[in-house]
Structure 1
Amino acid sequence: MDRGQLREVLELLSGRPLAVLTGAGLSTDSGIPDYRGPGSVPRNPMTYQQFVSDEASRRRYWARNHAGWRHMRRAEPNSGHYALADLEQRGVLTGLITQNVDRLHQAAGSRKVIDLHGRFDRVVCLDCRTTVDRAALALRLEELNAHWMAGRSDAGDVAPDADADVSDTEGFVIAACEVCGGMLKPDFVYFGENVPKDRVAAAYALVDTAAALLVAGSSLTVMSGLRFVRHAAKQDKPVVIINRGRTRGDDLATVKVEAGTSESLQALSAGLPEPAEAAAGASDWQAGPVIR
């Protein structure tokens, strides 16, 4: 972000409580490749229907996910995550909607977070709806697949949903739910699966509470994120998009910044003052409902 753009964005957003929408581009500086950014490897994510209907596809997915999970669990927040956590702590943000499942916002200290697409650190049974910690499941998978894991190193190419590039998945054993024996699935939204309605409603409420919307690191290719940009624009609220490359929301943006998210968010964190509500002493000021 050059100085002229920084000045423009600061003048536009200063004094306005912000809602923030983040995408995979924010986590690239943490070593997690994005889906569609410049230089991204073409990907063909598994759909929900493929996962639930075909055992071979499910086995392939779990093998790749297990290798990817071992990589993602070691990822750490970058300066962009910390900048957003700082803005929240100073009362500048009404809250944060993230399309990422990596939980790096929470690791950086953000509390008002809506995990729009779910979270990679949890698994859900599709039959009895029991949730399981992903680390606990990893121990079971290690035991079930000691023969498969022998001699394997972590995959180098890992997608934002922990799907690793593993070509040989034959022989990988899938773990079933220990409560009912049902089908386990990572607790995030697959392509072809709907975001839970209460989560969407909470995200809309967060945008309604804000006076502006800041988008960081999302191409807005899928409607699950783009709808919040459209919602803010319909309310004549300023929309600032920071992303390398074109997004589907560029035509709705008040300002579009072609720059890296980490350095841009650092600059905004340093330059944005607390909004009038926070400056007046409203330290307990809260956003709308947040789904965790």
Structure 2
Amino acid sequence: MRVSVPTIPQLLASASPTPAISPLEAIERVASFLTGGNVTTITGAGVSVDSGIRAYRGEKGQYMNPNYKPIFYHELVDETVKGFKFRQRYWLRSYLGYPPVRDALPNTTHCALAALQYASVIPRIITQNVDGLHHKAISHVWNRNQLDSGILELHGTLHRVHCKHGHDVSRNIFQDRISAANPQWHAYALELEKTGNRPRTNPDGDVVLEGVSYDDFVVPECPECLMDGLHNTNIKPHLVFFGESISQERKRRSYEDIEAGSRLLIVGSTLATYSAFRLVKHAIELQKPVLHLNIGPSRADGLPGVQKVDIASGDIIRQVTRAVLGTSAVQDNIIAELLRSGIVKRPPPDHSDEDYSTNRNTADMSSS
């Protein structure tokens, strides 16, 4: 089975540079685009960078390295010894990398978008991110039905886990199972919590580990399967891996969300994954106006009908929201609170990007 991995160099080789824009002009353009409401919004990893979660793509993103090779879906679920070894490596690295994603807080972009959602300007968000931060930003004012209808996690979530027979459990419970089965790694994880000296973590919760043997790592068996007399370590998070298809239900819902909007806003995504790029193409085919707010080149650059604003969302999004909502930004207590909320905690620079070429990593969350 051969599955190709799209890289920024491959996808963007012909991209032309976007003209520079001042923050004031960017605010005016994005606010004007949003005025009138009913805007479907697609978000990518760039939205979560200010929450301390690294983007895969971008200036120092993983996929800038053409030698990057992720773990594929068929490898992770392989029933042979080889597949079990893939699961040992995946779950050890993800066990150590999940806490920073679990504990991350919504940033100013998440909170401003939540304010726009609450005000029904952008009633639908389709996110490529698996960190759950859009939910965190608005969950204190929205109920479960509103969250389910307003936010579509296109590539799944890190916060739940299921086995091959469909037994589903929260990620925190599964983390506890790993801790109980691997006391030595649990002690190491506690030391990381204490010192804060964590390995470099990716947006899917994976970390880079050098010189580590995975052979002794215990992948917990599914207890529900054990009750039926089955031994099953074939367990994965609710992520869409390379080579794994997005469910037909999720694909249908994403198309319906595009069709329901009067226009499409894209924030913090290079659109290098086809699952998101085809939604932009669908919007263009429907002759819906499209605005792309993102730093650097993207797969959509040069597409007819796509306006590009090359600036970080965190630099302008609060001002955009205030311009769109007017007096409601002050008079509505929930909107005012959301516009005061949000952290800015960018990942620290490091020198490990070059090391990634020798590390087979985890899921891309970017299937077709």
**What does 1:234-249 correspond to in 2, within 5 Å?**
234-249=285-300
Counterpart among 82, 87, 104 of residue 116 in structure 2:
87
- Distance in 2 separating the partners of 1:196 and 1:185: 15
2:206 corresponds to which residue?
163
Counterpart among 39, 47, 55 of residue 72 in structure 2:
47
- Distance in 2 separating the partners of 1:134 and 1:94: 28
1:255 corresponds to which residue?
307
User: Aligned residue pairs: how many?
Assistant: 273
- Distance in 1 separating the partners of 2:27 and 2:99: 38
Counterpart among 159, 168, 172 of residue 135 in structure 1:
172
**What does 1:24-43 correspond to in 2, within 5 Å?**
24-41=45-62, 42=65, 43=68
What is the TM-score of this pair, normalised by structure 2? 0.71
2:219 corresponds to which residue?
174
Q: What is the Cα deviation at residue 67 of structure 1?
A: 0.4
Q: What is the Cα deviation at residue 169 of structure 1?
A: 4.2
SS of the residue 1:97 aligns to? strand
Q: What is the Cα deviation at residue 39 of structure 1?
A: 2.0
Q: What value does the CA root-mean-square deviation take over the aligned residues? A: 1.7
Q: Tell me which amino acid in the other structure corresponds to 2:217.
A: F
Q: What is the Cα deviation at residue 271 of structure 1?
A: 1.6
154-163 or 72-81, larger mean C-alpha shift: 154-163
SS of the residue 2:319 aligns to? helix
Q: Tell me which amino acid in the other structure corresponds to 2:311.
A: A
2:136 corresponds to which residue?
107
Q: Tell me which amino acid in the other structure corresponds to 2:221.
A: A
SS of the residue 1:50 aligns to? helix
Q: Quick check: 1:149 aligned with 2:200?
A: no
Q: What is the Cα deviation at residue 40 of structure 1?
A: 2.4
Deviations 1:229-272 (A, max 9, x none): 11111111111111111111122353211111222322321122
- Distance in 2 separating the partners of 1:84 and 1:12: 14
Do the aligned residues in 2 keep the contact of 1:59 with 1:169 (CA within 8 Å)?
no
Q: Tell me which amino acid in the other structure corresponds to 1:219.
A: T
1:116 corresponds to which residue?
154
1:204 corresponds to which residue?
255
SS of the residue 2:237 aligns to? strand
1:23 corresponds to which residue?
44
- Distance in 2 separating the partners of 1:169 and 1:88: 46
- Distance in 1 separating the partners of 2:296 and 2:277: 15
Q: What is the Cα deviation at residue 6 of structure 1?
A: 2.3
1:125 corresponds to which residue?
163
Deviations 1:42-94 (A, max 9, x none): 45321101211221111000000000112211111000000111001101012
1:278 corresponds to which residue?
none
- Distance in 2 separating the partners of 1:100 and 1:38: 18
Q: Tell me which amino acid in the other structure corresponds to 1:263.
A: D
1:186 corresponds to which residue?
237
SS of the residue 2:161 aligns to? strand
Q: What is the Cα deviation at residue 130 of structure 1?
A: 1.4
- Distance in 2 separating the partners of 1:147 and 1:10: 52
SS of the residue 1:142 aligns to? helix
Q: What is the Cα deviation at residue 177 of structure 1?
A: 1.1
- Distance in 2 separating the partners of 1:254 and 1:114: 22
Deviations 1:169-226 (A, max 9, x none): 4211101211114311111101111111111111111111111111111110010000
Do the aligned residues in 2 keep the contact of 1:38 with 1:244 (CA within 8 Å)?
no
- Distance in 2 separating the partners of 1:11 and 1:73: 35
Rate the CA distance shift 1:88–1:47 in 2: closer, same or farther, 3 A. same
Higher helix share: 2
Identity of aligned residues (%): 33
Do the aligned residues in 1 keep the contact of 2:31 with 2:321 (CA within 8 Å)?
no
Rate the CA distance shift 1:206–1:24 in 2: closer, same or farther, 3 A. same
1:289 corresponds to which residue?
none
1:265 corresponds to which residue?
317
Q: Note the residue ranges of structure 1 that are not aligned, 5 or more in a row.
A: 275-292
Do the aligned residues in 2 keep the contact of 1:213 with 1:237 (CA within 8 Å)?
yes
Q: What is the Cα deviation at residue 156 of structure 1?
A: 2.9
Do the aligned residues in 1 keep the contact of 2:267 with 2:294 (CA within 8 Å)?
yes
